[in-house]
Amino acid sequence: MPTPVLATKLFVPALRPQVVFRPRLIERLREGLRPGRKLTLISAPAGFGKTTLLGEWIVDSQRRDATARVAWLSLDDGDSDPTRFLTYLVAALQSAVPGAGSVTVGSAAAPAGQPSSVEQTLTALLNEVAQAPHQTVLVLDDFHLIGGAPVQAAVTFLLGHLPMNLHLAIAGRSDPPLPLARLRARAELTELRAADLRFTPEESAAFLNQVMGLRLSADDIAALDTRTEGWIAGLQLAALSMRDRSDIAGFIRAFTGSHRFVIDYLVEEVLQRQPDDVRGFLFQTAVLDRLSGPLCDAVTGQASGTEMLAALERDNLFITPLDDDRRWYRYHHLFADVLRARFPAEWRDRLPDLHRRASEWHERNGPPEDAVRHALAASDFDRAADLIEGAVPALRKGRQDATLLEWLTQLPAEVVARRPVLSVYLAWSMLISGDLDAVELRLRNAEEGLRAAADASSVPDASVTDPVAVGEELRMLPVMIAVYRASLAQALGDMVGTAEHAQRALDLTEPGDHFGRAAAAGFLGLASWANGDLEAGLRAFAEVRDSLRLAGNAADVLGTTVVLADMLIPLGRLRDARRAYEDALQLASAQGDPAPQPMGDLHVGLSELHRERNELDAATEHLLAARTLGERASLPENRYRWFVAMARVREAEGEPDAALDLLTEAELLYARGFFPEVRPIAAMRARVWISQGRLAEAREWANGQGLSAAEDVTYLHEFAQITLARLLIAEHRADPKRGAIREALGLLDRLLQSAEAGRRTGSVNEVLVLQALAHQAYGQLPLALLPLERVLGQAEPEGYLRLFADEGAPLAGLLREAAQRGILPNQVSRLRRAFRPGNGGTATPQPAAEALSERELHVLRLLATELSGPEIARELYLSLNTVRTHTRHIFGKLSVNSRPAAVRRADELGLLQRRSRDKDSDRQE
């Protein structure tokens, strides 16, 4: 079910017949539409005329260019839900660019149980807008009401990828969390603030005497303008208070104080001068965000709502029409806030009833979000829970997880506990948010609710919900409870519990419940994977894939490719993993736009296999393709993998500091509970430290993990234990006297036995390489060549290369010795070429040469711009320290000691000839 669209949010507010035109501001806004300008920002407190100015600007723009189009979106706090925001954004742009109609939220929805994201749909939407033959201005009004980081990130993405024919305008009470400093530095931002929006004395005179119909003297206007400092809402409130007053000068003299007190005083003055029926109408309808005649009638119990709204508009009483037909209105936000704050004490007991009436009206007329919101505001929690239960199927299909979680957390715990459907979905929300301690309690609540629901008389009243939908959700709950328990056990590292709960879920599935069977079989496969029985894991996920196909979950079928590849790689079956990724990517591409969600994950997986073959350019291309698709093309639990894969490419390119920064980013995105943590990010970081010679930090990691060369070997800890072996070898090289090499050899022997027993050829290969290096470090060259010859023979057919090249000079020395002894000459010759510099950018890091690396050239060209160091770091997705390291290398190679000198020297050498083109390319990225 698509998210319903409230058309009034998409209307450009109509200009009033009498308005103060502001040519000085319109001229500045015109300049903002020049080529190269991306964003127009109008940021000021309430009451400064932001929306009115936007409307005037739009009229002016369309008068100057009849082909220009406007996409308007009035935001409210409900739009913090990313799926709801995306729905309205698509609808707004579709009103201006009819060809953009192929993008829908439903087609970009995530699979059940996964958080929603918007970047993939934005990418497709922007591609369609870019084809339009006309210019379009996208206006996001009241942006300050957006509080969710996902939507703010989506707007940042939108801003960073605007086509040339689309301009973004944002109005709000505070600065949005966007890269404003960068836009200013690039002259891509036009901004108006409170100081700009204040009325000049001439504008104040026009407003007070012409618009508000007063007859003030020049002195009175000047005094009032001074008192209000050109604050438009203050002038309007003052003008309303001055109507029918005889002592205007006395009023103006008494008019002083802070804005808050002025507002309180003037609103009281305005309200006290209204007839009782008008004042009562204002207070009762202040509970509404949007007003229509029928809705107001339902809330007030009267029949004059339409006429009253028209009268309020005629009297300039802080009401704004939302459509051309004058069917929907809203109060000025400030006015509504004050009405609510000043709600008469004798009426406060009526507030719940007013909200309840509004909820009932919205239930009948939509949207359901408003029905729920008013039920919650009325503290009618049983009614709200009924409405939420009825909305759950649509919310799940529309991927409005943020909305569902917000509603559930507003319900009292005892209300949720009585309703098994709500308890289970709250448990899932806790699970994906990482609050593992709260999951089991919610699942127990759901089980108790199911037992109570067995008695028909105790089933929750479904009079306002869809009983069929609720019944279907109840029927599915036992399987989902067992599945979520398996997921919780997985997150806690309890493999036995994972398998037990997954088997229970499998036993509970009914014929035809293909999705439940897939989920249960998946966790059985994960338990086998974590225990090192990868063959059993592969068989389980083959069943998962078949069940998902029968369930019609095409995107999830593609998503299983990542899991299958993660098991094929340690088995040493790189060709099978690559073929699986390529086949899945071909299927995903055939689905057209928008790309299915796991498509980015497939690119990331292929990049890792290209990296192992030392095809770093191809690996980078796949990672860039994944980034272009955006977060929307990646399952939430996999998003950290992009940073891991890019870190490994950067490390192969000789940039360990950049790799460490990327691993830190990956760690922030990693979520426990989805897959066995067989390659911990902390262990990857320790490997980079070891390669840098930062052994103290690596040793601190090992001690913190409680790692010991004498502990039992398990597959779940195999990656960390192999990392410990690497550390012991490095410590022996640093201090041969401490005996670390003997610990390393003993640990490697046990790791080899474990990997061979599990038929994990990929793990065997890595252990054999380390055995060769350990014997070499111990001075046992003949013993070193034995494991080397074995791994050379079994690694070559699968295309391994970085397995060897990543070991650098020590492994190069062993290969040289192998070549001299005639050991597998073809394989050895192929590998030795990977250790030579100048091999298409894929060579093992070499000592610094006078020539600048590609990354250093990239940094150098940005040094030749006006960007600051932090801005360069953001451009390149690097830390500031990494940029400084590159800068020092550049200075050293160019024999200079300052940024200007480096730029001059680079210009002399012709290194900046393509600077402009590269700069444009950087910005597009």
Among 257, 275, 294, residue at a domain's last position: 257
Query: Has residue 107 been placed in a domain?
Result: yes
Confidence at residue 342, expressed as pLDDT on a 0 to 100 scale: 77
CATH of the domain at 164: 3.40.50.300
How do residues 411-449 score in pLDDT, each as one tens digit? 998 898 888 888 888 887 777 666 778 888 888 888 887
pLDDT digits (tens, 9 = 90+) for 497-512: 888 998 898 888 888 7
Mean pLDDT for all residues in the chain:
83
Q: Which of 803, 833, 863 is the last residue of a domain?
A: 833
Q: Is the peptide bond before 367 cis (omega within 30 degrees of 0)?
A: yes
Higher pLDDT, 896 or 43: 43
pLDDT value for 581: 94
526 versus 573: which is more confidently predicted?
Answer: 573
Residue 905 has a CB neighbour count (10 Å cut-off) of 17
Asked if residue 905 is part of any domain, the answer here is yes
Residues 27 and 176 in one domain: yes
- Is residue 647 assigned to a domain? no
Q: What is the pLDDT of residues 614-623, one digit of tens each?
A: 999 889 989 9
Confidence of residue 838 (pLDDT cuts 50, 70, 90): very low
* Domain hosting residue 170, numbered range: 7-197
Task: Work out how many domains the chain is built from and give that number.
Answer: 4
Q: Is pLDDT of 638 > 80?
A: yes
Q: What is the pLDDT of residue 185?
A: 87
Instruction: Pick the more confident residue, 390 or 106.
Output: 390
Q: What is the CA radius of gyration of the chain?
A: 33
Is residue 747 over pLDDT 90? yes
Q: Read off the pLDDT of residues 221-240 as tens digits, 9 standing for 90 and up.
A: 888 787 677 777 778 777 87
Q: How many CB atoms lie within 10 A of CB 637?
A: 20
Which percentage of the chain shows pLDDT scores above 90? 36
- Residue 255 is predicted with a pLDDT of 61
Provide the 8-state DSSP code for 801: -
Q: Are 186 and 210 in the same domain?
A: no
* Spatial separation of the C-alpha atoms in residues 719 and 708, rounded to whole Å: 13
H or E element at residue 329: strand 328-331
Domain match, 209 and 174 both: no
- Assign residue 691 the CATH number of its domain: 1.25.40.10
Run of H or E including 235:
helix 232-242
User: Which is it for strands 39-43 and 189-193: parallel, antiparallel or unpaired?
Assistant: parallel
In this model, does residue 457 exceed pLDDT 70?
Answer: no
Residue 498 lies in a domain: no
Q: Average pLDDT in the 784-805 region?
A: 94
Q: With DSSP H G I counted as helix, E B as strand and the rest as coil, what are the percentages for the chain, rounded to 5?
A: 70, 5, 30
Looking at the structure, do residues 55 and 193 belong to the same domain, yes or no? yes
CA pair distance 367, 76, nearest whole angstrom = 14
Q: Which of 604, 639, 645 is nearest to 622 (CA)?
A: 604
Residue 476 is predicted with a pLDDT of 77
Reduced to 3 states (helix: H, G, I; strand: E, B; else coil), residue 41 is strand
Which positions ≥6 away from 350 have C-beta within 8 Å? 284
Shared domain check, 217 and 68: no
Residue 120 has pLDDT above 70, yes or no: yes
Output phi, psi for 114, to 5 deg.
-115, 140
What's the pLDDT at 400? 66
Write down the pLDDT at residue 456: 47
> Can you give the pLDDT at residue 878?
67
In a shared domain, residues 179 and 209: no
pLDDT tens by residue, 304-323: 999 999 888 877 577 878 88
**How far apart (Å, rounded) are the C-alpha atoms in residues 293 and 356?**
17
Per-residue pLDDT, 111: 44
What's residue 611's pLDDT?
95
Report pLDDT digits (tens) over 709-722: 999 999 999 999 99
Do 190 and 209 share a structural domain?
no
Q: Residues 32, 150: one domain?
A: yes
DSSP states of 56-122 = HHHHHHHHH-TT-EEEEEE--GGGGSHHHHHHHHHHHHHHH-GGGGG--TGGGPPPTTS----HHHH
